[in-house]
């Protein structure tokens, strides 16, 4: 005789389902943490490649950091201008290096071009708009400031040899383009970030070395951190913590660490529009001198 197979009872199915749901609830945070860690590591690896490209660029251009673009202080387009991101392309060879895997926000596609973004025979021209949405914001005010000279703007990239502590000086940091009304990041990253402070308590300008009374006008789209607008991208000067409340920070020597926005302000009394002073030069990582 054949013995009839015993089926699961409803109670047994419910118990098994409950066990599966419990295990899923326990393991989901672990999987999310592993994914977040892998994204942070990949982001840091990309940053190091960009630093290597920056140093190779400096080697070819009189030991100087790259300018932010070819038309400092003016609006250009792909026919007349190049951003620092595009200047790095011959050295890093891959535009995807400038994107952080943790940033899933909508942004302009590198391959989506328009007539004004396309130059025949120039493959880099199609990256002009997309390059401004790179995830690694350049500490340009301190490394390549754009200073007003008469009626013109002049780019003044610093020499690598003048950097006293490359292992302490910020070069790039995770960034964001903008934020929607609900505070959600949007548009990818931002190729430029601004520091939280400008002047020392002695009135010395950290950008140019001049005194506050004789400090030249510097080109900037965001004058300091807007600490009062917590839903704005400027709350951290367009720097952004993509990694569970932390952001990757890479220094000139290529070392990468993760920091909270608060740690990024060490040595600085943060106030809106650069009204706060730099109190501790040793702790303040933005100034290259």
Give dist(CA 44, CA 90) in Å, integer: 20
Round to whole Å and give the CA distance between 134 and 84: 10
Q: Chain centroid to CA 177: how far?
A: 9
Distance, in Å, from the CA atom of 158 to the CA atom of 216, rounded to the nearest integer, reads 16
Cα 70 to chain centroid, rounded: 20
DSSP state at residue 87: H
What is the full per-residue pLDDT of the chain (289 aa) written as tens digits? 555 556 667 777 788 888 888 877 776 665 455 567 889 999 999 999 999 999 999 999 999 999 999 998 887 888 889 999 999 999 998 999 999 999 989 886 665 444 455 666 666 567 888 899 999 999 999 999 999 888 889 999 999 999 989 999 999 999 999 998 888 999 999 999 999 999 998 889 999 888 866 667 899 988 889 988 889 999 999 999 999 999 999 999 999 999 999 999 999 999 999 999 999 999 999 997 7
Domain boundaries, the chain: 10-274
* Res 223: pLDDT: 85
CA distance 106 to 188: 6
- Tokens encoding 206: 């950290």
pTM for the complete prediction?
Answer: 0.85
pLDDT confidence of residue 156? 93
The pLDDT of residue 27 is: 62
Which pLDDT does position 114 carry in this prediction? 46
Q: What is the pLDDT of residue 115?
A: 43
- Give the span between the Cα atoms of 15 and 23, in whole angstroms: 12
User: Which one, of 180, 178, 164, lies nearest residue 281 by Cα?
Assistant: 164
């Amino acid at each position: 005789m054949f013995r009839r197979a015993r089926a699961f009872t409803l109670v047994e199915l419910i118990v098994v389902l409950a066990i599966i749901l419990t295990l899923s609830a326990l393991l989901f945070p672990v999987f999310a943490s592993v994914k977040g860690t892998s994204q942070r590591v990949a982001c840091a690896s990309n940053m190091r490649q960009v630093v290597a490209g920056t140093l190779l660029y400096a080697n070819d251009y009189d030991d100087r950091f790259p300018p932010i673009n070819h038309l400092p202080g003016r609006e250009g387009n792909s026919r007349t201008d190049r951003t620092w991101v595009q200047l790095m392309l011959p050295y890093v060879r891959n535009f995807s290096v400038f994107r952080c895997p943790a940033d899933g926000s909508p942004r302009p596609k590198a391959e989506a071009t328009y007539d004004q973004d396309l130059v025949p025979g120039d493959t880099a021209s199609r990256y002009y708009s997309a390059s401004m949405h790179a995830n690694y914001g350049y500490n340009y005010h301190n490394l390549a400031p754009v200073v007003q000279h008469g009626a013109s703007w002049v780019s003044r990239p610093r020499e690598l040899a003048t950097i006293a502590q490359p292992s302490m000086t910020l070069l790039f940091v995770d960034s964001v383009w903008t934020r929607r009304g609900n505070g959600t990041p949007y548009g990818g990253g931002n190729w430029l970030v601004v520091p939280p402070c400008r002047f020392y308590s002695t009135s010395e300008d950290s950008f140019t070395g001049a005194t506050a009374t004789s400090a030249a006008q510097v080109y900037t789209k965001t004058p300091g951190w807007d600490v009062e607008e917590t839903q704005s991208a400027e709350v951290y000067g367009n720097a952004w913590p993509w990694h569970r409340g932390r952001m990757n920070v890479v220094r000139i020597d290529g070392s990468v660490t993760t920091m909270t926005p608060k740690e990024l302000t060490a040595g600085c009394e943060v106030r809106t529009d650069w009204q706060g002073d730099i109190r501790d030069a040793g702790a303040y990582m933005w100034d290259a001198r």
